[in-house]
Amino acid sequence: MDFSKKHILDIASLAPEEIIFILDTAEALKEILSRPIPKVPTLRGKLVAHLFFEPSTRTRLSFEKAAKVLSADVFNFTARMSSVEKGESLIDTVLNIQAMGADLFVIRHPNAGAPHLIAENVNTKVINAGDGFNAHPTQALLDLFTVREKKGSLKGLKVAIIGDIRHSRVAHSGICAFRKMGAEVYVSGPATMLPSEREALGARVCYRLEEALKDADVVMALRVQKERHGRALFPSIREYARQFGINAERLALAKDDCLLMHPGPINWGVELHPELEKDPRSVILEQVTNGVAVRMALLVLLLGGGA
């Protein structure tokens, strides 16, 4: 098929067949990463601009790795070392970078909707690398890729997402993505961090952790988004770990061959018990590797002609 999208801003705007095409493309490109010299000339001459207004490790570095494997040129923008500190607006910033020849913007921003605003005001292609607690589409795609790679299919799986659902862009995009591909999604966490049934995007809201974990094919733990709360939503970190932290006993409620996932960064001893760090069901580091392959696929599809 031809991939006609100009931007990747959220999961909601992607049709299931487009998601499958992205995953198939990532599967084909992942092989490059295992070569003695992981480098191809596919995007030689293209310029990818990384605009990160929030801290990032995995997302920023995997986008940079993806671009360099494909031979694209890269420059990295950080707000603290730019004219944003002098009062320059977001749109003026991106228009100036566009004028330098950028072919694609990868943007992370603390305000929901910022990538959409940029996409409406530039000719350059845009990938949303996370906006506020709204969306993180590339994380959802790499999670789909990882589960499909391990399970062979996404349809009919039970996916349990545990933690700070209300404030997590990973959860919002993940729920949408897994449900589009035919999986059932259950969410659980402290009541103050759960969406209402109406806001749950079709996921089943479970106030009892055991209900979400029971017979799950995939268990995904999320970091507590303390920086987005503005107020205390639970008594203490220790209490959160006691009530909702995933340990071996709780993971035993899921299927024996379940996958344990986390988008990172992990607070060991809070979301996940340290005893799970080397658990054979964990695919957390594989998520990181697959993130490079998925982001390679998106760069190729957006900048390489879409075929």
Q: What's the longest Cα–Cα distance across the chain? A: 56
How is the chain split among helix, strand and coil, in percent rounded to 5? Answer: 40, 15, 40
What are residue 65's phi and psi, to 5 degrees? -60, -45
* Phi, psi for 128 (deg, rounded to 5): -80, 115
CA pair distance 17, 290, nearest whole angstrom: 20
DSSP readout, 16-66?
HHHHHHHHHHHHHHHGGGGSSS----TTTT-EEEEEESS--SHHHHHHHHH
Sole residue written with tokens 């106030």: 207
Please tell me what DSSP assigns to residue 276.
Answer: G
Residue type, 73: D
Q: Token pair for residue 149?
A: 């790679």
DSSP character string of 76-95: EEEGGGSGGGGT--HHHHHH
Q: Answer whether 175's CB lies under 8 Å from 201's CB.
A: yes
Could you identify the residue written with the tokens 């996404």?
154
Q: Which residues are catalytic?
A: 58-59, 86, 108, 136
Distance (Å, whole) CA 298 – CA 25? 9
Rounded to 10°, the helix 137-151/16-30 angle is 70
Give the containing element (helix H, strand E) for 261: strand 259-261
Residues 29, 45: Cα–Cα separation, whole Å: 19
